[in-house]
Amino acid sequence: MKRKIIKAYDNYAKYYYSKRLRKRFVNTYIELPAMLSLLKNVKNKKILDLGCGPGILSKILAKRGAKVTAIDLSPEMVAIAKKYAKVNVQLADAEKLPFKSETFDIVCSSLLIEHLENIRMFFKKINKILKPSGIFIISTAHPFRNIEKFNNYFLSKWQTGIWDKRYKIPIKPHTFEEIINSLVSCNFAIQKILEPKPIPKAAKENPEEYEKYKNKPYFLIIESEKVMPIIKTSVLRMRINTN
Ligand SMILES: C[S@@+](CC[C@H](N)C(=O)[O-])C[C@H]1O[C@@H](n2cnc3c(N)ncnc32)[C@H](O)[C@@H]1O
C-alpha cells in the first residue's frame, strides 16, 4: 500500500502544489485557517509537520518563528516542500519516525491519517516523541463524509478517492469513534474539536464554492495534549499494599 500511496502522491504533487498556490478552496478557506487558529503561539517551539505535502503549513509556522521539521513519504512532495517552505524537510514514513523520545513541543498532521492503516499505533509513536504536555493537532477529512462518498460510514477497508476529478488516491477511512478512542487510549487528553466552516471572506472571494461547502462538515480538527498515563486506583491500591 505504501508504494501505491507514494506513486499516487508523486503523480499528484505538482498539480496539488499549483492548486494550493491558486487558493484550492477547501484548504485555503476551511482547513488551513482552522489549523492556524490552534497554532498561534509557536515562536521558538519545535514543531513536526507530518505529511507536509508541498509545505504550505510548514512555511507559515516557520514565518511565525517555529523551528519546523517536516516529513513526507512522497519524494516529489519533499522536493517541492524543500524549495517552497525552506525548512528541514525529510523523506520519511510518518509510521516509522526517526526521532528520539520527547523531541517536539507540537506535532501536527494535516490530512494525513486518512492514509494510515493503524492510527492507534501511529498515535502511540507521536506520544513518545512529544515532550511532556506536548500538543498534537490532527486534521482529517470529516468521517461523516464517508456516508456521502462511499454510502457506508463504517467502512474499514482501503478505498480509492478521486481527487480534483482525476487523481486516484488510496484512502483508509476511520470513524469518529476510532479516532477519539485511539487518542484517549494513547494518553492524549482532547483539548478542542473543530468542525470548521468556510471563513467569511470566502463568501466574497469565491461565492460559488462557498455555497457548496457552507452547510457540510468537511474537515475534523482535533487538538490534544500528551498526559501522564492514568494508573487505575485498584492498581495503585495493590502497589501501596505490596510496599
Ligand atoms: C492530502 S496531502 C496533505 C499535504 C499537506 N499536509 C497539506 O495539508 O497540504 C497528504 C500528504 O501525506 C503524505 N503521506 C501519506 N502517507 C504518508 C506517510 N505514511 N508518511 C508521511 N507522509 C505521508 C502524502 O505524500 C501527502 O503529501
137 Cα–ligand 1 center, Å: 15
The pLDDT tens digits for 14-37 are 999 989 998 989 999 999 999 999
Write out the three cell numbers for 129.
516523541
Alpha carbons within 13 angstroms on the beta-carbon side of residue 78 total 15
**Residue 9 cell numbers, joined:** 502522491
What mean pLDDT is predicted for residues 76-91? 97
State in Å: Cα 236 to ligand 1 middle.
Answer: 42
Q: In angstroms, what is the span from residue 145 Cα to ligand 1's centroid? A: 19
Distance CA 31, CA 194 (A): 10
Helix axes 2-21 and 75-85, enclosed angle (nearest 10): 30
Residues within 6 Å of ligand 1 by CB: 5, 9, 51-53, 56-57, 71-74, 77, 93-95, 110-112, 115
Which of 74, 159, 179, 161 has the alpha carbon at shortest distance from 119? 179
What global pTM score does this model have?
Answer: 0.92
SS3 65: coil
Q: Whose CA is nearest to atom 12 of ligand 1?
A: 51
Q: Which ligand 1 atom minimizes the distance to the CA of 31?
A: 8
User: How many C-beta atoms surround the C-beta of residue 18 within 10 A?
Assistant: 12
Pairing of β 130-141 and β 104-110 = parallel
Which grid coordinates are listed for 12? 499528484
In this predicted model, what pLDDT tens digit does every residue of 151-195 receive, in sequence order? 899 988 999 988 888 999 999 999 999 999 999 999 999 999 999
The 10s digit of each residue's pLDDT in 200-217 is 999 999 999 999 999 999
* Span from the CA of 242 to the centroid of ligand 1 (angstroms): 49
The protein residue with its alpha carbon nearest to ligand 1, atom 13, reads: 51
141 close to 218: Cβ distance less than 8 angstroms: yes
CATH of domain 2-242: 3.40.50.150
Which triple of cell numbers denotes residue 230? Answer: 492514568
Cα–ligand 1 centroid distance for 112 (angstroms): 5
